[in-house]
Structure 1
Amino acid sequence: MKMRFKILFVLLLVSTVLFNSGCIGEDFTADQIAEKMQKKQAGIEDMSATVHMTMTNEAGTQEMEYETLQKMPDKTKSVVVYPEEMAGQVTVSDGEKMWIYYPDANKVTIMTMPEISDDFEVDYTSIIGDLLNETDASLVGTENVDGRDTFILMLVPKDEEDSLHASDMKVWVDDETWTPLKIEMGTEDTYQITVEYRNFEINTGISDDEFEFEIPEGAEVTEIDNFDDMLPVSMTIEEARNLSDYEITTPSYLPEGYELNNVMFSNTSISADIDESVTLMYSYDDNGIIITEIFYNGEIDQNSIMLESETVSVNGEEADLYSMYDNSLMLQWKHDNAMLTLSASLDRNEIIQIAESME
């Protein structure tokens, strides 16, 4: 799990840094790049693109594509093109509220956006400085991407153990807008992630009307007034069971020494199909067992994990057993209207035994 979060974090970091950077192909100090970045940021009023994401590993390939609009400082809109089961899903924010529309279920979730202090500032200089300190960047060529001339940058981590980077990165930077049109990262034997920004345009005068949302007729509406309501709340198992509309199960078997030390409960979700979730955290010394139960109000969405899995049996039902990047195992299975996930650094037989004791 740690590796997956690193991948997403670094991908966002590099996108932010390069989107606001103003030069490539020469050696610059962090201060010089920060100065170029700030000048470029001030000149960007809006942008639009078709974002195509591909993730490939030993388990196969997953793709996602969505149309996106952004208007500075805080207006955004995205419409999913595919995968088919998500096509037409719309997320819109005018800076004060966010609307998420699920066309298949005809449901809308409305969230009030959290207030951000006027004196809140992102320290771009330190972000760029850290990035440059941890990588060796080189210009490795040029290439035409989506009809645009680009410079190809290679970013190589100096120390893979300590760096935020999980792998080398290759970035194609448009020589007109100085923004990334393509990013590749991954390792040859584990995974490959590619993000492409197609039909990319900036400062086209996008209207504020694009960031207004009209609720479809007959749609079921859920309003979340406080963003903090989205966060799980720590409580006892008894309190969670009293609040829940579902049957929360717990293991009757645990390896010796493990005890329940935290329960996180939430009955608010931006997903139209999820009613509640509960996470049980057990610990012994520095070791932990994490069990998550997600309760659905309709068809259960089998979590798609881009890893090879072994099919095992949990009380006669099929379950998926995954070997994770940090040498732990993760077991996932369905029970009634819930999806259960169990993660721990234990052997497979013991993990299955814990799962089979859930009651």
Structure 2
Amino acid sequence: MQKRTKIVAALLAVGILAVTAVALLAFIQPSAEDILTGALTTTQEITDGHAIVEFAGNMPDKDVSGTAEVWGKLNVGPNGEPALRVEVLSASQADMGGTVFVADGVQFWLWNPVKNTVLVGTFAELKEKMAERAADYDGAYDFDHDGQAADTDHPETAEEAVAKLTEYFTVEKVGTEDVAGTPANKLRLIPIAEKMPEQMRAAGGLFYAWFRAADNAPLALEYTGSALGGGKATAVQLDLNQGVADGQFSFIIPAGAEVINIADLEPPQAETLGEAEAAALGLLVPASLPEGASLLETVDMMGTAVQRYSLPDGQSFTIAQGAPNERFAPDGDSQTMTVRGISATLYSDEANARTLLTWTEGETQFWIGGDLTPDEALAIAESLK
């Protein structure tokens, strides 16, 4: 009897230890915020790096994919600008193959060997162009001399940077996956609608990011679920702080190449569609709109006709139509329903305040997405004519 009691006691002790170990293991698993903080800390310690990156992107008018080799070194330029070299090793688009981008911390060169053209410029000119481009979104931004928004609070620590990020994104840990044979933590970053620029809020989409489990170094980033496209970049090889020769960041313009200065370039703009152009595209417009909705513009974005509408309280939604592409469907649960006599797919958040409705009629796919309830999206779809 005494022996049996000891065995039972021993089994209970083992069971308690096992439960405690499992509880402790769950407790010490890094949270999404811990992983991001670790990633920023790792990034702050990087002096140079080398990577082989596989990339893929899909847009309404074309798909691209390929592999590139990248070398980089931080704090090379007079104001801390980086040095960078990117060589496209392979690409699905013939005119991308062999493309080389080099920056030495002061100026940069982008060479397309197929066209034998070299785009040249300085970091100062590039920042100016970026500021001009940013001003196209939600009005003008006040940029300082470093190309940053002047009213932006700059975080001093990794923890502050993560806290700032979570003001704009809901960050969730999805689990762990292998990236090119390397264990990695996977995070999902969902934009908080009211904090996003109107164009992104209307188009939808979210991000996934993978971080190497050993040191939280970023390995992959994906943007998906947008009505206008998506893409993913994956580092299948990543070497940090192993040293990179300065010669990697020099470039000699090939003989006979056409040289184009970035200061002379005009950024591509979405083409505003007039009534005639819209009619030629067979554009359908809604006869029924939510209360307070107002048409902002109708544009051609990479082959997709997009109607942007504003709503009260800074909200908005988009009606888009273009070539069918099911890869624009967001990650998550969906519902199947009938719209205009055709099978459609509906995605909505938990509060039913953000919705994406999509279906295909013949050779045209439609997307209705933004700050809408499912009923509002369905009513808009049924009223298109």
If the length of structure 2 is used for normalisation, what is the TM-score?
A: 0.48
Higher helix share: 2
Is residue 132 of structure 2 the alignment partner of residue 123 of structure 1? no
Contact 1:139 1:151 in 2 (8 A): yes
Structure 2 SS opposite 1:98: strand
Task: Check 1:305–1:93 CA distance in 2 against 1; reply closer, same or farther (3 A cut).
Answer: farther
Distance 1:99 1:232 in 2: 17
Distance 2:91 2:63 in 1: 14
Task: Check 1:348–1:208 CA distance in 2 against 1; reply closer, same or farther (3 A cut).
Answer: farther
Structure 1 SS opposite 2:254: coil
Residue 112 of structure 1 and its aligned partner are, at CA, apart by 2.6
Structure 1 SS opposite 2:115: coil
Distance 1:305 1:63 in 2: 21
Which residue matches 1:64? 66
Residue 185 of structure 1 and its aligned partner are, at CA, apart by 3.9
Task: Check 1:288–1:24 CA distance in 2 against 1; reply closer, same or farther (3 A cut).
Answer: same
Distance 2:164 2:118 in 1: 40
Is residue 98 of structure 2 the alignment partner of residue 88 of structure 1? yes
140-149 vs 36-45, which deviates more? 36-45
Is residue 128 of structure 2 the alignment partner of residue 114 of structure 1? no
Which residue matches 2:184? 150
Is residue 244 of structure 2 the alignment partner of residue 230 of structure 1? no
Which consecutive unaligned segments of at least 5 residues does structure 1 have? 1-22, 234-249, 256-284, 293-302, 311-319, 328-346, 350-359
1:78 aligned partner, one-letter code: V
Which residue matches 2:243? 205
Residue 113 of structure 1 and its aligned partner are, at CA, apart by 2.6
Task: Check 1:95–1:218 CA distance in 2 against 1; reply closer, same or farther (3 A cut).
Answer: same
1:309 aligned partner, one-letter code: A
Contact 2:220 2:232 in 1 (8 A): yes
Give 1:51's match in structure 2, choosing from 50, 53, 59: 53
Which consecutive unaligned segments of at least 5 residues does structure 2 have? 1-27, 76-81, 128-144, 279-293, 306-320, 325-362, 371-382
Residue 290 of structure 1 and its aligned partner are, at CA, apart by 5.6
Structure 1 SS opposite 2:124: coil
Which residue matches 2:323? 309
2:187 aligned partner, one-letter code: L
Distance 2:33 2:187 in 1: 14
Is residue 34 of structure 2 the alignment partner of residue 25 of structure 1? no
Which residue matches 1:239? none
Task: Check 1:106–1:55 CA distance in 2 against 1; reply closer, same or farther (3 A cut).
Answer: closer
Contact 2:42 2:217 in 1 (8 A): no
Contact 1:138 1:154 in 2 (8 A): yes
Contact 2:39 2:218 in 1 (8 A): no
2:217 aligned partner, one-letter code: T
Residue 131 of structure 1 and its aligned partner are, at CA, apart by 2.5
Distance 1:221 1:289 in 2: 35
Task: Check 1:57–1:90 CA distance in 2 against 1; reply closer, same or farther (3 A cut).
Answer: closer
Distance 2:106 2:62 in 1: 39
Contact 1:25 1:138 in 2 (8 A): no
Which residue matches 1:275? none
Which residue matches 1:264? none
Which has the larger Rg? 2
Structure 1 SS opposite 2:165: helix
Contact 2:64 2:91 in 1 (8 A): no
Residue pairs, 1:116-195, within 5 angstroms: 117=145, 123-124=154-155, 128-157=162-191, 159-160=192-193, 162=195, 166-187=204-225, 193-195=231-233
Residue 161 of structure 1 and its aligned partner are, at CA, apart by 5.7
Task: Check 1:200–1:304 CA distance in 2 against 1; reply closer, same or farther (3 A cut).
Answer: farther
Residue 213 of structure 1 and its aligned partner are, at CA, apart by 0.5
Which residue matches 2:83? 75
Residue 82 of structure 1 and its aligned partner are, at CA, apart by 0.7
Give 1:99's match in structure 2, choosing from 109, 113, 117: 109
Task: Check 1:207–1:33 CA distance in 2 against 1; reply closer, same or farther (3 A cut).
Answer: same
Give the root-mean-square deviation of aligned CA atoms: 4.7
Task: Check 1:124–1:89 CA distance in 2 against 1; reply closer, same or farther (3 A cut).
Answer: farther
Which residue matches 2:379? none
Higher strand share: 1
Residue 196 of structure 1 and its aligned partner are, at CA, apart by 1.0
Distance 2:165 2:245 in 1: 35
If the length of structure 1 is used for normalisation, what is the TM-score?
A: 0.51
Aligned length: 237
2:87 aligned partner, one-letter code: V
Residue 49 of structure 1 and its aligned partner are, at CA, apart by 1.6
Contact 1:139 1:153 in 2 (8 A): yes
